[in-house]
Amino acid sequence: MKVTIELDCTPAEARAFLGLPDVSGLNDHLVGEMKKRMDANIAMLAPDELMKSWMAFGGQASEQFMKLMSAAAGQGLRGRSGG
């Protein structure tokens, strides 16, 4: 025996019929929070904001970066000649 039941209802009606909680308010809150966080992170990716954060360390940041690059380049040359 085979029985087929077809229901025509909206997702909200189906949730209410099955006794599931209405989480639309929570969903709206989470989506809003995600939008705020994405906007804040996108603003931090702006070139002027990146330069401000990098320059907040003063000249030391550029010196440290140059030392890091020099060390990495030197390591690469030593590794190449040793093979």
Question: Using one digit for the tens of pLDDT, what is the confidence trace for 18-39?
Answer: 999 988 899 999 999 999 998 8
Can you state the angle between helices 47-55 and 24-44, rounded to 10 degrees?
Answer: 70
Tokens 């360390």 identify what position?
57
| Tens of pLDDT, residues 43-74 | 777 777 777 777 766 667 777 778 888 888 87
For residue 73, the one-letter residue type is A
